[in-house]
Each structure stands twice: as C-alpha cells, then as structure tokens.
Chains A and B, each alone.
Chain A
Amino acid sequence: MNYIDNIAFLILLILGVGFFVKNIQKIIRNIKLGKKVDRSDNSNARWQNMAFIAFGQSKMVKRPISALLHIIVYLGFIIINIEVIEIIIDGLFGTHRVLSFLGGTYAILIGTFEILALLVLISVSVFWIRRMVLRIPRFWNKEMKGFPKNDALYILYFEMVLMSLFLIMNATDVPFQQGDSGNPISQFLVPLFENFNVTTLYIIERTAWWLHIAGILIFLNYLYYSKHLHILLAFPNTYFANLNPKGQLNNLEAVTNEVKMMLDPTADPFAAAPEGSEDEVPEKFGASDVTDLNWVQLMNAYTCTECGRCTSSCPANITGKELSPRAIMMKTRDRLEEVGKNINKNGEFVEDGKQLLNDYITPEEIWACTSCNACVEECPVNIDPLSIIIDLRRYLVMEQSAASQELNMMMTNIENNGAPWQYNQMDRLNWKDE
C-alpha cells in the first residue's frame, strides 16, 4: 500500500520521457523532409568542431559577459542533473537520498550542486535583467514580439523555479541539515523555516522534491515547443556544419550538367537521358519552400535559440533594412512546423497554398543581404542563414526571373560582354595604356 508513490513516480517518468521521445521523433522526421546533403566527410574536423564549439562553447566568448553567465547555466545544467539520477532511484524504489552512503563524496557532490544552483539562479536573474531592464536591443527586434519574447522568459522562470525548489528541498530536509555537510547554501535558508514543525517541513520537502522532478520533466517536454532545443541540437548541428571556407557557395550539380551540355558542341540535346539520371534532375532550382532546403538547413532552424547575435551583426539589419538572419531561421522553423502538422493531420503533406518564400520570408528581406557572412561567423552553434538566403534567391532568379531591373542589367552585361557593366570585352586591357 506504500507503493502508490513509487507507481505515481513511474507513471510520471514514463509519461515525461515518453512524450519527449515522441516529440523528438517528430523533429527528426521533419528534419528529414529536407534534401540530401553529404556531411559524412572529415569526421575528425567534425568531432573537433563539436567538442570546441558546442561542448567547449568557444564561439560564445566573443561576448564575454553573456559567455560567462551562459557557461555557469550550462555547467549548472549538466552537473546539477547528476542529481536527477538519485532522484529517479529514490522515486522508483522509495529510498531517500540513496547515494548518501558515499559519505564525504556525497557531501561534496551535493555541496557543488548547491553552489551551482545559486550561481545559476544569479545568472538567470541577470539574464532576465538584461532582457527586461537593460533591454539589450537584440532581444527587442521586431521578430521578438509575442511568443518568442515570452518563450525566452518562460525558460528563465523555469530555471529560477527549478533551482529554488532544489535548494528548498535541501533546506527542509531535516536529517540532511542535521548532518550539516553538503549544505553550503541551503543552510542559510534553514532559518526561513525555523517556526515550522517537523511534519510541515517533511511536507514542504516532499512537495519541493516532487515539483522539482515534475518540473524537470515538464521542462524537458517544453523544449519541443520552445527555442531551447539548442541544448540538445547544438551538438549535431556543430558536427554537421559546413566545413568549407565561408565564402564558398555550393555549385548546383544539376546546373553543371546542363551548362556542360550547352558548352559541348558535340552534345545531342535530344539524346535520351542516361539510365538513373532522373533522380538527379531537381524539380526546381533553388528553394521556395522548406522541403527544397537540405536537412542541415532545417536542423539549423530547430537549433536556433534566437539569441540574435547574427541579427545584431548584420549590416543590413543594423542599417534598418527588413532583413534579420534570426528571423530567417525562425520563419524557416515556423513553416517547417506547419508542414509537419499538416503531415500529422493528413498522413502526408497536402498542398496548403503556402510556401516559405513570400508567405514567410519576403523577397525584400533576402535581397537586402550582402552575403558578408557576419551572421554565420557570429552564430555560437554554426547556423548558416546565408545558405538559405542564397537558395531563395536562386529560386527567385532561376525559376521566376524575379530579379530587380538593375540586377537583370548586371547579368545581361555579364552574358553579353563578360563584365557586370556595359563595357566591351575588347577594351579590357585599355588601362595599360591610359
């Protein structure tokens, strides 16, 4: 009859983890809606990127204050979560602080968790102040209205509550406090509870314990709906990120084949396509919807945590243009989610009359890009908004001939006289004698 707690815990755990796994599967399925792109090469460099950039957070240090705060929360997250192991064992088997037999080691562990919990609490509060009091501009761009803004705040509140529950749980654990080791922070909370009797303290401790683990499971499931997926996706995202020089855009192979044929005087335009070549012909050049992008670009969209470093360094955005690289990623994710829901509902994608281009991202945004790579350079987890912008431009130009008059002139000049301006190619060496 005393197993009710354990069973309730087991159910909570199964539900929490089960829903999480289900949602992760949805994300993986959505990412796989993207086109193929080979990122299986050079695994050494890829592991290195993951170790330094994701695990070591090497790109964060460009902005030292937020880097320091972030590293505290990150370490806190990883290290304090070791405590979850004990919580799960205790919950399943009805034990209490099962690992306390470790003695001095246990005290050091819990003591470390407590110190980190306090530091996380402080850091998260500073994060909140940066957003809401100092109003750092990159948190207030126009794409950060409504849910994106609240999303960021919910996450901060969640972390505040979880850390407080952990400390309260320790402070109200009478035997733990009597042991007086491993409680460097919670001992200072004890006076808050000095007028409570043992039973009340027990109830508070149990409540905090349950809320703490329930909170962790809820937070785990909130990830799927939030911008916070980066805590998981930063790792694959840095692993699969582009390794080529930033200036190098991919060459479209389908175009290469056609251009080779055009330039080859012996090519027979009416010849039957060689066996198996049909899969290589793309249904369109460039991208107008999320399913035209590759899976790494789609993973990028899920990985983005909307920190806005990209946008705050974008020359177009700085000078008041519509373009915001962060918004490019957010819109890509929004559209991908919409396509995913469509598939959930209908079993397969049913045409909804919408697409990424125009309905989410406007031509005005993508034409404002200078392809300067500042956004790519800035991203702490190697997201590449520029590649999406270029793919959308390719669709506009090659499928819709929708470049501006000026760009069309430039391209006509290149075609006719081999220079973006209207000069005769035969005059190319005139400078020598001027």
Chain B
Amino acid sequence: MNVPTMAEMMAQGKQPEVLFWVGCAGSFDDRAKKITKAFVKILNKANVEFAVLGTEESCSGDPAKRAGNEFLFQMQAMTNIEVLNAYEIKKIVTACPHCFNTLKNEYPQLGGTYEVVHHTELLKSLLDDGRLSIEGGKFKGKKITFHDPCYLGRANEVYEAPRELIQKLDVELVEMKRCKSNGLCCGAGGAQMFKEPEKGDKDINVERTEDAIKVSPNIIATGCPFCNTMITDGVKATNKEEEIEVLDIAELIANAEDL
C-alpha cells in the first residue's frame, strides 16, 4: 500500500492532487482503519496522487465543538489550518462526514479555505472521469440499503453520490422508510459517540438498525466510521450479525474487486 505523507511529498517538491484527511477514527479505530485502507487501495488503483498528514494530523475539533467547547475546537482548527496552509493544500478528501463538515464549513472563517469532498464524492468523480471502474463482483445481486450519515446528508445535502456508487455494483439498492433528508441518526453525532446515552427506553442505534432490518438487506452500507460502529452494534444487539453485514462504501468497492 502506497501512502505518502505531505512531508515526504514536500521533500520531493511535489504537490498531491488531493490530501486524504484520515481522521481520528480512521487512524485509530480498528473497524474504521479497514475503511481507511480500502479507500487507499482504491486511490492507488485509480492512480490518484494523494498524501496524508500522518502524525501531523490532529482531531478536526468536531466533537469538542458539538459538546460546547468552542475554545478547544478553535485551538484544534487553528493548529490544523496552520499545518494545512503551510503545505498549501487546495483539496481535501475524507471518509469521515464529521471531519468533512467541519473542514468544509467551519474552517473557512478561521482562515482555512479548501475544496473539501467526502470520499463518496471523490469516488463518484473518479468514476465519471473514467479513472475508476466499478464492478459488482462478489456483491452482484445483493440487497443493499444505505444509511445516510447526518453530517453528509441533512448537514450538507450529499445524498446521491453514495447511492450512485452502490448502484454501480449491480446490486439491488433498497431504501429504508426514513431515508435521505428524513434519515434517522445512528445516535453518535453531537459528541454522543463518546458518552453513554441519556436515560430513555431504547438505544438510537437499535431503532435505526430496525429501520434497516425492515427492508431485509444483505448489507447495510454507510459512509461514516461512527455510523458504522453504531449500526454494527445495532446489528449485534438484534442478533442479525449472521445475516447482515455493515460496510462502508469504500469497502464495498474495494472488496468487490478483491483489492
């Protein structure tokens, strides 16, 4: 796997096409690391010149901001912006909708203006430009439902890119009753990922997983490492792990071709 860092690129006097912002989950969470690797494999295959910040990357500040800690968020943002601007980054891709939203919408005011795209958007444009081809492979004919991450969907109105990618896999895309702008949250947003839920009568991820189970898919596709964790837990909680797989769209594409 070829994963150049910005520091290495700079040493060679090169500027990548796009910076891959891995994010904390993508860097450290065992499940999310698989998504990161799947995405890198696709980038390698499509000959995309990309780089990562590696150890120079730091939390985007999203969970701190949503938890109400504006100080910590802005400290993180400004430190990151300094690094990004020093490397003269123009375009950023990330597989985390939380990083995506924060970098895209909340950094410009603090001096960090970049073209920020979600990995499904980048993959879609690679496909449109003929740099990437997608085949169904082992997923052919499977029934897949897509869970809209709030920070990709409602927050930034990206609904179609992930769906178009899924449809390229020769699968049956089925929609849950609550989808797109009506999509139900997985329960992790707004810093909930890092705390126990408040007292209630049900866990949100179970409620959401039940939405998916109702359309009896073979696979629940997501585009967010947190959604992935929450839905995976939901599938376990409902004892469906034998029947339903939870996969990121990058994994679907990479695994279809055994990358």
Contact = CB atoms under 8 A, between A and B. Distances in A.
A315 B74 contact: no
Interface string A235-279: 000000000111111011001101110110000000000000000
Contact of A428 (B57, B155, B191): B57
Interface in B18-36: 22, 24, 26-29, 33, 36
Interface stretch (B84-92, B101-109, B127-135, B168-176): B101-109
A127 B195 CA distance: 41
Contact of A374 (B151, B184, B194, B195): B184
Nearest to A389: B190
A73 B29 CA distance: 53
Contacts of B1: 432
- Residue of A263, A370, A403 ringed by the most chain B CB atoms within 10 A: A370
Contacts of A108: none
B207 A421 contact: no
Given A377-B181, A420-B24, A425 B3 contact: no
A397 interface: yes
Given A319-B203, A420-B59, A411 B22 contact: no
B162 interface: no
A62 interface: yes
Interface string B56-71: 0111010111111111
Given A372-B185, A419-B24, A420-B59, A429 B52 contact: yes
Interface stretch (A1-9, A217-225, A361-369): A361-369
A285 B70 contact: yes
Interface in B66-84: 66-72, 74-76, 78-79, 82
Interface stretch (A137-145, A298-306, A320-328, A345-353): A320-328
B105 A247 contact: yes
B242 interface: no
Given A247-B151, A321-B198, A372-B189, A398 B69 contact: yes
Contacts of B154: 246-247, 372-374, 376-377
A248 B207 CA distance: 26
A38 interface: no
A368 B79 contact: no
A248 B74 CA distance: 14
Contacts of A286: 68, 70
A421 B26 CA distance: 12
A407 B26 CA distance: 20
Contacts of B198: 316, 321-323, 364, 367-368
Interface in A192-218: none
Given A313-B182, A315-B184, A431 B24 contact: no
B161 interface: no
